[in-house]
Amino acid sequence: MMEFAALTYGLLASVILSAAQRNYRLRKPHPPLLLYMGYLLCGLSAGAAIALGCIAISATLGG
């Protein structure tokens, strides 16, 4: 299950970033769906970083 989540996250990140780069080069505005998916990707990344940080701190403290 972890492999599927990592593959999906990587594919989503690749598509979002390449579409944003293409729109930036062409000087076109980003579609709303691209912005929403970008914010979703940012939120997932921040949530995973916080969760992993909490796990690392609790493991360090012996909890």
| Structural domain spans, the chain | 2-61
pLDDT band of 37, cuts 50, 70, 90: very high
Contact 20, 38 (CB under 8 A): yes
* Spatial distance between the Cα atoms of 23 and 40, rounded to a whole number of angstroms: 19
Mean pLDDT over 33-47 rounds to 94
Residue 52 has pLDDT above 90, yes or no: yes
Q: What is the mean pLDDT of residues 28-47?
A: 94
Residue 63: pLDDT band (50, 70, 90) is low
Separation in Å, CA 43 to CA 2, 30, 54, 58: 18, 19, 16, 22
Structure confidence at residue 1 as a pLDDT band (50, 70, 90): confident
